[in-house]
Structure 1
Amino acid sequence: MTGSAAEIVLKQACAQVGIPSADAEPLRLGENAIFRLPGRVVVRIGRAGQVGAARNEVAVSRWLAEVGVRAVEVLDEVAQPVEIDGAPVTFWHELPEHRHGTPREVATVLKRLHASPLPSAFELPPVAPFVRLVERIDGAATLSADDRAWLRHQLSRLREAFDGLPDGLPRAAIHGDAWAGNVVVAADGPILLDLERFSVGPPEWDLVSTAVRLSTFGTMTAEEYAGFVESYSHDVLEWDGFEVLRDIRELRVTCYAAQRATENPALRSEASLRVACLRGLRGERPWTDWKPLT
């Protein structure tokens, strides 16, 4: 979404709920646009057609408050989401001063989340680990025909493997995208961010987001990972289904890089590197030369 289009939606949504939009500050413009308003209010504008997902985020935020898992908080005085030309608009309290969570802190909040009873006022969707992957593979113009065919085959293989996962931890409410950046810590404790992927599924899906930092990317130490395992009281690396979920996570971040490279030529070498690693052309894990996408 362009800046001008997002500003139009912002003004219309704010007018509808009676919140002034003057002096709005854009924080992020992209698939989702985020603005800060005076009074420590943050407005998120989602993609057109995602009203149901936004409604789920609002419900999840309120449910988490009920079960004692702190997360980003919606403005309760506003009926939301607001829909403007098919795009959902939601209103949130701005976060207090915070830092990223440590592996131990991430594990602690995930353990509390996974032990919480499922919501009764609404139904969480089943986990969807392959969402948008077909579109990203097909739309990545920088992929060679050979790489595209390999990624499609890998996606098909992993779909089948996911359906046959071995037994593990009891199914629970899961965050769905529980990497370290989505758990921040304020002065009074950890806060969960980005509730878009909340669902019901294997808790291991959340745990793998941290495990791959050790096994795939080499961005955390064995000592840090040991602290994560100790705090959660379970090591997903020892589960027979770990490699399947690891491979799905790797595929997701690789397809995202391929999509971004189509939009930004500066990222083409990074996308090519990730595909080559997945195909076994760059040695064994960890692949420490992967770089964050900017």
Structure 2
Amino acid sequence: MSQAEGLTEKTALEAAEIACGKVGIDGTGAELIRMGSNAVFRLKGQIILRIAREREGFKSARRQVGVARWLESEDYPANRVLDVRQPVDALGHPATFWVSVAEKEAYASVAQVAEVIRDLHKLQAPDSLQLEQKQPFDEIAERLNAARSLSGNDERFMRQRITELSHQYAELQFLLPRGVIHGDANIGNVILTRDEAPCLIDLDSFCIGPREWDLVQTALFFERFGWHSADEYKRFVDIYGFDIMKWSGYETLASYREISMTLWLAASETEKAANEVRKRVIAIRNGGDRRDWSAF
């Protein structure tokens, strides 16, 4: 089953009602605030409900809950899960309940993102979490298989490019030690709490791997997309203590991330997403400017 199958706004609302009923939470007036990899609802009492699109995602959901509880025990600034037995089976989809940190989504500064990543990389996860090893090309293969808006030619190009990158990746010499990583660390996953403190969210990709994976998106957003300024990136490097752009493997990881971001979007069937995917593939194929890529 592809990522997009089996969960619409209507069925997500039905699943939310079932999930709330199973844990005794009032789901009246549940507000759908996002439909992506998860259907995300805001509930009464400062609660966030996430329902995964993938029916096979119970293992991942259990891992996310375990990671959140471990990070709370470390007093690390990340999403807290509600103290209920979870994940919950909601129409076959895993549902998890989280403490809402703010009523509006405001992002942390790039400097705060660097602090959050630096402090995460100081932690050592307990063996009981059973975190998986980073497998980037298994992940991107799943996204490619779920893509719906790629033309035949674009799909062939992407497969060829992924193969090239996999060969390059196999030869990389990482400079930072392996350890716990967020796996999708960027400014979009560090939000400000009601007290304007940074909080790491979206623990879906938590795993063990090279720490460079948690640095590449900030560099990419600066160097290729222009979403961060030179001063912001310099501050990021100064705080974390390592400039990934000076490492020989940066281009490989950055190119991988571009394709991963594009394939994630290609799972959507909307005309707006399809147009954006086509624009991105053309830029990747021809080495074109990425500064007109729209954020999704």
Q: TM-score higher than 0.5 here?
A: yes
Partner of 1:175: 182
Q: Normalising by structure 2, report the TM-score.
A: 0.90
Structure 1 residue 110 displacement after superposition: 0.3
Partner of 2:230: 222
Please give the alpha-carbon distance, in whole angstroms, between the structure 2 residues aligned to 1:54 and 1:167: 29
CA 1:257 to 1:31, structure 2 compared with 1: closer, same or farther past 3 Å?
Answer: closer
Q: Which runs of 5+ in 1 are unaligned?
A: none
The counterpart of 2:46, out of the listed 40, 64, 67, is 40
Letter in 2 for 1:120: D
Do the aligned partners of 1:2 and 1:30 also contact (CA within 8 Å) in 2? no
Partner of 1:75: 82
The counterpart of 1:123, out of the listed 121, 130, 146, is 130
Please give the alpha-carbon distance, in whole angstroms, between the structure 1 residues aligned to 2:137 and 2:114: 24
Q: Deviations over 1:111-157 (max 9, x none)?
A: 00011112233211112323553354355454333322111011112
Q: Which runs of 5+ in 2 are unaligned?
A: 1-6
Q: Percent identity?
A: 37
Do the aligned partners of 1:214 and 1:221 also contact (CA within 8 Å) in 2? yes
Count of paired positions: 287
Partner of 1:87: 93
Do the aligned partners of 2:180 and 2:208 also contact (CA within 8 Å) in 1? yes
The counterpart of 2:150, out of the listed 129, 138, 143, is 143
CA 1:156 to 1:216, structure 2 compared with 1: closer, same or farther past 3 Å?
Answer: same
Partner of 2:293: 290
CA 1:278 to 1:33, structure 2 compared with 1: closer, same or farther past 3 Å?
Answer: same
Do the aligned partners of 1:229 and 1:235 also contact (CA within 8 Å) in 2? yes
Please give the alpha-carbon distance, in whole angstroms, between the structure 2 residues aligned to 1:176 and 1:30: 17
Structure 1 residue 106 displacement after superposition: 0.4
CA RMSD of aligned residues (A): 1.9
1:235 paired to 2:243: yes
1:206 paired to 2:214: yes
Please give the alpha-carbon distance, in whole angstroms, between the structure 1 residues aligned to 2:88 and 2:146: 30
Q: Deviations over 1:180-202 (max 9, x none)?
A: 01011232621000000001011
Structure 1 residue 256 displacement after superposition: 2.5
Partner of 2:114: 107
Structure 1 residue 253 displacement after superposition: 1.4
Q: Deviations over 1:40-67 (max 9, x none)?
A: 1111111211000000000010111122
CA 1:44 to 1:215, structure 2 compared with 1: closer, same or farther past 3 Å?
Answer: same
Please give the alpha-carbon distance, in whole angstroms, between the structure 2 residues aligned to 1:25 and 1:71: 22
Please give the alpha-carbon distance, in whole angstroms, between the structure 2 residues aligned to 1:130 and 1:90: 27
